[in-house]
Structure 1
C-alpha cells in the first residue's frame, strides 16, 4: 500500500509540475508576441490575466472535483467511506492527473514559440524599434512572425485596430 501511495504521489507530482511549469515558462514570451502586434510592452496586463485565469480554473476544478466526489458517494468528515466513494476518489486522483498531464504534454509539443522562433521575433521587434522598414522584412522572419501572432505582417507593429495608438510606420498602408 505504501508503494502504491508513493507511485500515486509521483504521478500527482508530475501533473503538478506540468501545471506550474508550462504556463509560467511560456508567460514571459507572450508580451514579446504582443509587442509585435501592438508596439507596446504590456506585461502587467498579461500578469493580471494569468493570475485571474489561474485562480478561476482552480476554483472551477475544485467545484468539479467536489461534485464528482459527492456524486460518487463521498461524505465529508466521515470516518470511513463506501467502496464507491473510494473508487471515485482514486479515479479522480489517477485519471484526473494523468489526463491533465497528457493535455500538458500535448500543448507543450504543439506550441509554436520555440527558442529559434522567439529569437527571430525579438530580432524583428528590435529592428523595427530601430527605425527598420517593414517593407524590408525577409521571408523567414515574415513567416515566423505571422505564425506566432496569427496576423498578416502588414497588420503588425500597430497597424491594426487592437493598438490604441496611431502607427508610426509610414512605409505601409494601414490595414484595419
Structure 2
C-alpha cells in the first residue's frame, strides 16, 4: 500500500535565501546555515525514517526524513551518494528531478536537536521484474555515512540507478 505525500513547492535559490533570512531573523526551524558555524552531523546523531511513498506508471518514490536525535546542533547537506537494498550491494545514484517532483538546491542545513530534513529516493521498476524485498534499504549521506531506513516493500526491483534529491529543511 502506498500513500501520497505532496511535494512542497520549491521556489529555487531566491526562495531558499528568503527562507534562510527568515530562519535567521526569527531563530526557529531547520534552516540554511553557514558551513563554518557547526560541525557536520555524525551518523550517531541522526535517525532516518520513511515519511511518505508514491507509486505510479512503474515508478516508485520514498520520502525520507533525517532527524537530529542528539543534544547538539549539526549540519547536513546534499543527496545520498549510494542507496543499498536487498543483497547489500550499493547502487549508484543520480541527483536530480524524478517522475514525481523537482530537486531543490543543495544547501547546508542546520539541524537543532529534534529537527529534520527531507529528501526523496526514486526508481523505476522494470516491466518484467519479479518482486524483490529491499529489506536493508539504507542511504549514504555526504559527511555522515550510512543510515538504515528500515524500509520493507515487495516492489523493490530496480531498473538502473536511483534518482535522489538534495536534502531540504523539513516543512
Q: Provide the TM-score with structure 1 as the length reference.
A: 0.25
Q: Between Structure 1 and Structure 2, which shows a larger proportion of helix residues?
A: 1
Larger Rg: 1
